[in-house]
Amino acid sequence: MQKEAKIFDAIVDARRSIRIYDDKAPFDGDAVKRSLDRAILSPNSSNLQLWEFYRVKTKSKKDELAKLCLGQKAATTANELIVFVARKDHWKRNAEFVFNEIKKDFPEKTGKKEQLITDYYTKLIPTLYFTDPMDITGSVKTIISMFGGAFQPIPREVTAVDVRIIVNKSVALAAQTFMLSMKAEGYDSCPMEGFDSKRVKKFLGLPRAAEITMIVSVGTAKPEGVYGKRVRIPKEQVIFEI
């Protein structure tokens, strides 16, 4: 096993969801900044990066947000709270930005590869991400995928709900990168879904289209902050070789 793999094993094994932090322990806020910088490098669907990260660090604001997290100790005792937000509504802006950046590296004479990239960002992405209030376009796309899929493999997740899930999966990848990074920095974390999403959005001034994927608390764990031993379903029930 390579040295890097052993280090990564140690980080993954040491990461636990912490329910109580030692709020008196020293805390380096720059570790959060570095970890968010790393989170931005996370893989995501079509490189659209439809995420926003809100770092809540001032005590008054953190205490206010902790109440919206139902007052759970994982929030009230944390040094900081980071809100991971899915922004599906930014798809057009981000697609244009990414495509314009990619085009800068196109050769003077474009070929098949460049045309595929162009079609992907100017045709496929708009087709997938555009939705109307009643998602009638989603129903049409579903019918098209059903007929097209009768003859060849084709993406089936084309409705507005499907795309929301896709975006939230990408945000979750960024959150995992962030939590592993914080563990590598010597700190602990806890991903939380126990919160009032409507009030959190109002607290952050977010529009209706934004979605809270999760809120992650960070700090230094107290011994009693780990609730019991780690339990995992047996490998043979979840890992399969074909």
Domain boundary (130, 161, 192) is at 161
Q: Do both 81 and 99 map to the same domain?
A: no
Q: Do both 191 and 205 map to the same domain?
A: yes
Residue 53 maps to a domain: no
Retrieve residue 82's tokens: 């980071």
Q: Do both 75 and 110 map to the same domain?
A: no
Amino acid 116: pLDDT: 97
Amino acid 206: pLDDT: 98
Find out whether 135 and 159 touch, Cβ atoms under 8 Å: yes
Q: Do both 17 and 65 map to the same domain?
A: yes
Amino acid 102: pLDDT: 98
Q: Do both 70 and 179 map to the same domain?
A: yes
Amino acid 20: pLDDT: 98
Amino acid 211: pLDDT: 98
Residues of the chain under the 50 pLDDT cut: none
Residue 225 maps to a domain: yes
13 phi and psi angles, rounded to 5 deg: -65, -35
Residue 101 maps to a domain: yes
Amino acid 45: pLDDT: 98
Residue 52 maps to a domain: no
Q: CA 216, CA 192: separation in Å to the nearest integer? A: 6
Q: Do both 83 and 198 map to the same domain?
A: yes
Residue 35 maps to a domain: yes
DSSP 190: E
Short-list 146, 147, 142, 144, CA closest to 160: 142
Q: Do both 121 and 69 map to the same domain?
A: no
Residue 169 maps to a domain: no
How many separate domains does the chain show? 2
CATH number at 79 reads 3.40.109.10
Short-list 199, 197, 189, CA closest to 85: 197
194 phi and psi angles, rounded to 5 deg: -85, 85
Residue 167 maps to a domain: no
In which domain, by residue range, is 110 found? 91-161
Retrieve residue 147's tokens: 């007929």
Retrieve residue 204's tokens: 């952050």
Domain boundary (139, 161, 183) is at 161
Amino acid 1: pLDDT: 78
Residue 110 maps to a domain: yes
Q: Do both 203 and 101 map to the same domain?
A: no
Q: CA 36, CA 211: separation in Å to the nearest integer? A: 19
